Structure 1
Amino acid sequence: MRKKSVLATGAAALAVTIALSGCANNVAGESQKVQKAGDASGKTVRVMVGGLNKQIYLPFMLAERLGYYKETGLNIEINDEPAGASAKTSLLAGQIDAVGGFYEHNQILQAKGKDTVAVVSMLRAAGEAEVCRSDLKGVIKGAADFKNRNLGITDQGSATDYMTQYITKHGGVDPSETHRIGVQAGGTFIAALDHKNIDCGMTTEPTISQVVSSGKGFLLYDGRTVAGTKDMFGGNYPTTSLYLMLDYVEKNKDTVQLLVNAYVKTLKWIQDHSAAEITEKLPEDYYKSIGKDAYVKALEESKDMFNPTGLMPEGGPEQVAKVLQANPEVGGKTIDVSKTYTDEFVKNAK
C-alpha cells in the first residue's frame, strides 16, 4: 500500500492499526490489535493518520485518551501509516473513511479530479522544520544552497515533499536539481543524517528536538509556530486536518458531526492545559526515545501551532494554493479552494 522508501535506512515501517486502549502506542512498527472506541453497536468509522506519534497529529491520540471517542457512540478505528501520501491512497481506494493528514492533500486531489473535503483544521502552523547535518553548518545557509543536495522527506508525494519543493524553488533552485529521498521520521530520519544519506530534511517533533539536542543537526527553517510558518511560507499555512471523500460527508453528516465534536473538544482541552499536562495523557512510547522532559519542552515551544477553534485559518487555503504551485501535479491548475474545506461542522460542534 505504501511506497517503499527510496532510501533503505532500516526496516520498512508497516501500516498498523494502533491499539487505542489503555496500553501505550508502539511506535516501532510492531503489529497491534484493533481497538474500537465507543458503543459496539455503533457505526464503524475507519480513520488513518499519517504518523500517529508525531506531535502534529497529537489530537488524534489525545481524543481517545480523554474519552472523547467513546462519547461519540461510534466504533472509531484509528490506523497508523508513516506517510500521509499513503493514507490518501487508502482513502481513494475505499479502505478507510477518513484521513488525519495535511489539508493540502485536498487541493492536490481536486487537481486530479477527486473531491475531498477537510472538516476540521487542527493545526494553524506547518509544524515542520528543515534541519541539516551539523557538519554542513556554514555550508548550507538556506535553500539557495540546495542544488545537487539530498533532501529528506517523509515519502514521495507527502506534504513534506511539497513543502520542500516550495522552499527550494523559493530559494532560487529548481526542485529537479535536488534529490528528494523518503526517510519517514524518527529513527529512520536520524539514521539517514548519521550515514550522510541526506544533507537536510523536513521533519516534525519529536524528531526535530532529537536531532538538534544531540548535536547531529541544526535548524535551517522552523515552522513549528505561527510566526515561524509565516516566515517559512509567507502566510498562514494550515496543515493537520480531518478530511474525507465529499460523497461520504454528504451521505453521513451525523457521523461526521460526531467526529468533529470530539476533535473540537480536544483542541479546546489542549488550549486549557499545559504541555506537561498534555504529555501525561499520552502513551509513554510517544516520548520514550527523546525523554519526557525534552518532549514537554518541545511541546511547550510548539504548542502555538494547535488551532484553538478548529476553524480554517483565514487566508490559509489560498496560501497553501500558492505553495502548491511548486508541485508539478498542481502547478498551472486553477484550484477552487472553497470546495476543499468546510467550517459547517466546527460551527455546529457541541
Structure 2
Amino acid sequence: MLPRSPLLTRRAFGSVSALSAAAVLAPALVRAQADEAALGRVTIAVGGQGVLYHLPLVLADQLGYFRAEGLDVTIRDLPAGALALQAVQDGTADVCAGAFEHTLRQQARGQAFRSFVVLGRAPQLALGVSLRAVPAYKDLGDLQGRRIGVSSVGSSTHMAASLVLGRAGLGPREVNFVSVGSGVGAMNALRSGQVHALCHADPLMTLLEQKADTRIVADMRSLKSAQEAFGGAMPAGCLYAPQAFLQKQPAQAQALANGIVHALKWLQTAAPADLAKAVPTGYLMGDRGLYLAAFNRVRETYSPNGAMPEEGPATALRVLPRAHAELADLKADLARTYTNDFVRKARQKFTL
C-alpha cells in the first residue's frame, strides 16, 4: 500500500496558487508593459475637465481604459477649450479634447486638425441670467449692453451664446463677452456680479439654477433642444489632433479612440452609484445628488459609439457664420475635418 500524501497546508496552498497565478499572468504583464513602452506617453489638453461635456474622457482615464490600451496619458486641464487648442498649437500637448467646430476654424487658418472620436452629440450648454443682477429680466433683449460670461472668447460657450443672442437680434457689439474660465471661477463671476449672464455646461448650470442664482433662458442640454438651436445634429466634444499626429502616431490615436469608445460603452449601462464612484470627488461640486441629476439631464447626448453624426460637420459649418460675423465667408473641406477610421476599429473591439 502506497503511503498517503501529506495534506497541503493553507500557507503552502496559497504559495502554490500565487506561483501558478504568476506563471499565468506574467506573460500578459510582460506584454502589457511592452505595449506601454511601445506606445509611450500622450498629453491631452482639455478645457474644464470637470464639466459633464468631457465625462467620457474622465472615465477613460479614471477607469484605466487608456492604460489598458498601453498608453501613459497625461491630461492638462485648462480653463477653456480655446486655451486647450492653444496648448496643442504651442506643442505642450499632443491632442485636444474640445469642440468639433475648432477643426473648421483652424482649417480656414491653414492648419489641419481632425476629429477622430466623438464624445457628445450636443453641446450640453445653457445660457442663464443672474437673478440678482437682472431681476426684472423679460427677454433676451434685456441683455443688451450687459456682460455675458463664457469660458473664453473663441470657445464653444462663446459660439453658443453668440448664436442665441444673434437670433434675438443682438449683435456681437451689443453685449460684452467676458472670459470667466470654468468651475468655481465661472460660478463666482456670476454670483459676484462680474457678469450678468453666463453660458456654460453642467453640472455648473444645474447648480446655479437649483440654488436660485440664475434663470435658464436658452437650453441646449438635450438632443431635441440642441437640434432646434443649431438646426441639426451638432457634434460637440471630441478628441481632435493635428493631421501630422494622426499620420505619425496612428497606434496612439487608435489607443485613445479605443479608450473613449470603451468609456462610452460603460456609460450606456452605468448605474448612478457607479458613476459617482468613478469620477473624482471634486467634480461633484459638493453635491452628489445634484451632479447625478445634471448627468441624467444630458445622458442622452453622449455619443453611443464615438462616430461622427452623419450631418454633424455640415451643421457646424452652417452655424459658425451665424454666430461669428467674421466667419461669414467660411468654407471648409469637411472630409478633412474628421475621420471615423479609428472608431470603426474600436467599435469592432468593443462590439458597439
TM-score by length of 2: 0.84
Tell me what 1:139 maps to: 137
Q: Which of these residues, 59, 72, 89, is aligned with residue 69 of structure 2?
A: 72
Alignment of 1:177-192 (within 5 A): 177-192=174-189
How far is the alpha carbon of 1:343 from its aligned partner? 0.7
Q: Secondary structure of the equivalent of 1:348?
A: helix
Q: Report the residue type matching 1:315 in the other structure.
A: E
AA in 2 matched with 1:227: K
Tell me the residue number matched to 1:291: 287
User: How far does residue 137 in structure 1 lie from its aligned partner after superposition?
Assistant: 5.6
Task: Tell me, in whole angstroms, the C-alpha distance in 1 between the residues paired with 2:312 and 2:206.
Answer: 27
Letter in 1 for 2:305: T
SS across alignment from 2:239: strand
Identify the range of structure 1 (323-332 vs 218-227) with the bigger mean alpha-carbon deviation: 323-332
Contact in 2 for aligned 1:153/1:182 (Cα 8 Å): yes
Read off the aligned partner of 2:139 and give its amino acid letter.
K
Q: Which amino acid aligns with 2:287?
A: G
Unaligned runs of 5+ in 1: 1-37
- Compared CA separation, residues 140 and 189, structure 1 to 2 (3 A): farther
1:194 to 191, 195, 217: 191
Decide which of 335, 339, 346 is 1:342's aligned counterpart: 339
58 and 194 in structure 1: CA distance in 2 versus 1, 3 angstrom threshold: same
Alignment match, 1:110: 107
Q: Distance in 2 between matches of 1:329 and 1:114?
A: 18
How far residue 333 of structure 1 moved from its aligned partner, in angstroms, is: 2.0
Distance 1:75 1:329, change over 3 A: farther
Q: Which residue of 1 aligns with 2:27?
A: none
* Cα displacement string for residues 12-69 of structure 1 (whole angstroms, at most 9, x for unaligned residues): xxxxxxxxxxxxxxxxxxxxxxxxxx83564111111111111111111211222211
Note the C-alpha offset of 1:245. Answer: 0.1
Q: Is the counterpart of residue 278 in structure 1 residue 272 in structure 2?
A: no
**3-state secondary structure, aligned to 2:198:** strand
Q: Aligned to 1:84, which of 78, 81, 84? A: 81
- Match status 1:304 vs 2:329: no
How many residues are treated as equivalent by the alignment? 311
Structure 1 residues 244 and 333: CA distance shift in structure 2, 3 A = same
Is the Cα contact below 8 Å between 1:111 and 1:329 reproduced in 2?
A: no
Retained in 2: the 8 A contact 1:149–1:199? Answer: yes
Match of 1:93 in 2: 90
Question: Which whole-Å CA distance do the structure 2 matches of 1:63 and 1:242 have between them?
Answer: 12
User: What is the alpha-carbon distance in structure 2 between the residues aligned to residue 184 and residue 316 of structure 1?
Assistant: 26
1:57 aligns with 2:62: no
SS at match of 2:44: strand
Query: Which digits, 9 at most, give the CA deviation of each residue in 1:185-239, with x for residues without a partner?
Result: 2222222222222121101111111101111111111111111211222221111
Aligned to 1:152: 149
- The correspondence for 1:327, drawn from 324, 328, 332, is 324
CA contact (8 A) 1:84 1:158 kept: yes
- Unmatched tracts of structure 2, length 5 or more: 1-34
Q: Highest CA radius of gyration, 1 or 2? A: 2
Relative to its length, the structure with more helix (as a share) is 2
> For the residues of structure 2 that align with 1:337 and 1:323, how far apart are their CA atoms?
14
8 Å CA contact 2:80, 2:182 repeated in 1: no
2:272 and 2:296 mapped to 1: Cα distance? Answer: 5
Deviations 1:141-161 (A, max 9, x none): 23x443212111001211111
1:312-349: CA deviation from partner (whole Å, max 9, x where unpaired):
11211111112210324532121222211111110111
1:213 maps to 210
Cα distance in 2 for partners of 1:80, 1:231 equals 31
- Mean Cα displacement is larger for which, 97-106 or 329-338? 329-338
RMSD of equivalent CA atoms: 1.6
- Tell me how far apart the structure 2 counterparts of residues 96 and 107 of structure 1 sit (CA, whole Å): 20
- Deviation string 1:255-293 (CA, Å, 9 cap, x unpaired) is 211110111111111012133322221111111x24111
Amino acid at match of 2:137: V
SS in 2 for 1:92: helix
The answer to whether the 8 A contact 1:108-1:329 is kept is no
Distance, in Å, in 2 between the alignment partners of 1:303 and 1:201 is 22
State the percentage of identical aligned residues. 28
Cα distance change of structure 1 residues 168 and 265 upon mapping to structure 2, 3 Å threshold: same
SS at match of 2:247: helix
In 2, distance between residues paired with 1:108 and 1:140?
34
**1:138 positional shift:** 5.3
